[in-house]
A and B are shown apart, each in its own frame.
Chain A
Amino acid sequence: MCECRKENLAHFAVTIIGKDRPGIVADVTEILFRLGGNMEDSSCTMLGGDFAMILIVSHPKPFVKSRLTEEFRGLHGLGLSVYVRSLHENEVCYRSPQGELCMVSVYGSDQPGIVFRVTRELADRGINITDLNTRLIGTKEEPVYVMMLEAALPEGLSIEDAEGLLEKLKKELKVEISVRAITPVSL
């Protein structure tokens, strides 16, 4: 067990998605609030016409998954799909990112495999994606795919190394790829 303030809390990973409308976040968090739960980490965004919420929820122990699932049942009637998973104690801890942080932009004519080819290349070198989003833009005749991702480089791998790594993919897929450092500065 790590040295953090989470020992007395039960943690859950929760995914909620449904057709976008005003009020989804309020509906979900009202349930958590009444329950005495806490939305610790979250990332919520519009995807297409849907709104997706990914949450880490905590609740003072003892608390079980079935209770949370039960409390969320009302959301089904509002057109939301809900998925809840219990997190084991050792899944819930702080871990600082190691190595340099970089931002990778990939864009070009849409074709199958852009995400797969780029992320496989990164994965094979132990580059860890921390954030990623993609969007299909452009026209019907000329669809353009855009992927932006942030990743932590493993010890010993530089931004230039990462750039070099993606260079041949750039030629092969005929897409633009650029890599730049975004390591936070401590002020």
Chain B
Amino acid sequence: MPVRTILLYPDPILKTVCLKVKAVDREISAIIGDLVETMRTGPGSVGVAAPQISVTLRVCVVDVSENRQGRENNHGLLALVNPEIIHRQGAAITREGCMSIPDYTGDVERATRIIVRFLDETGNPREIEASGFEAVAIQHEMDHLDGILFLDRIASLKTGLFRRKNYK
């Protein structure tokens, strides 16, 4: 299960609406494996979506259990196939960054509590309730499956953009 190269914007794959997975077969298992490996090597990464590794299928992985903001409240490693948010509530702003858009971050508003329905890595249907940082991560990764980047959701300009570029 090799670590895959993360596509960078403006690769058009990142703006593609991904296709539904028909069955969680060996090919999908391999993709999930690659996504997990790729996430583990990304610095501080808590999730990767299939289009980020050039696969236009509705698959993503999330694991916030090692993250300071997520370790108290999470479901461990999640492989999400054909995920759907069936309920959302609350709103909070988080400053997000994305491996596909280096050197840029922005404030994005996301639901604070979501119920997600998906197939897990074995093809079993599951439903979980996620909140806090895990909910943010799931929503960010799921956006990738619809070709939506955090740049499409930036909520505020006045204090919303922190330029990592610096002219000292």
Q: Is the CB of A184 within 8 A of B167?
A: no
Contact yes or no, B162 A184, CB < 8 A: yes
Query: Are A91 and B168 closer than 8 Å at their CB atoms?
Result: yes
Q: Chain A interface mostly helix, strand, loop or mixed?
A: strand
Report the stretch among A19-27, A29-37, A74-82, A94-102 that lies at the interface.
Answer: A94-102
Of all A-B residue pairs in the complex, the 10 with the closest CB atoms, nearest first, are A184-B105, A95-B166, A187-B140, A184-B95, A184-B97, A186-B44, A186-B97, A182-B95, A187-B47, A96-B164
A91-B167, A91-B168, A92-B167 known; A185+B94 contact, CB < 8 A = yes
Interface membership of B45, Cβ < 8 A: yes
- Nearest CB in chain A: distance from B162 CB, A: 6
Asked if B136 lies at the interface with its beta carbon under 8 angstroms from chain A, I say: yes
Interface size class of A (residues with CB under 8 A): 20 to 34
Which residues of B lie under 8 Å from residue A93 when comparing CB positions? Answer: 167-168
Chain B: residues with CB nearer than 8 A to chain A?
42-47, 67, 69, 94-99, 103, 105, 133, 136-137, 140-141, 150, 158-159, 162-168
Contact A185 B95 (CB under 8 A): yes
Q: Are A187 and B45 in contact (CB under 8 A)?
A: yes
* A residues in contact with B44, CB < 8 Å: 185-186
Interface membership of A103, Cβ < 8 A: yes
Q: Looking at the complex, which one of A13, A91, A187 makes contact with B97 (CB distance below 8 Å)?
A: A187
User: Residue on A with the closest CB to B103?
Assistant: A94
**Pick from B43, B97, B163: contact of A41, CB under 8 Å:** B163
Which residues from B are CB-within-8-Å of A45? 158
Shortest distance between the CB of A90 and any CB in chain B (Å): 9
Task: A184 to B141: give the CA distance in the assembly, Å.
Answer: 16
Indicate if the CB atoms of A185 and B162 lie closer than 8 Å. no
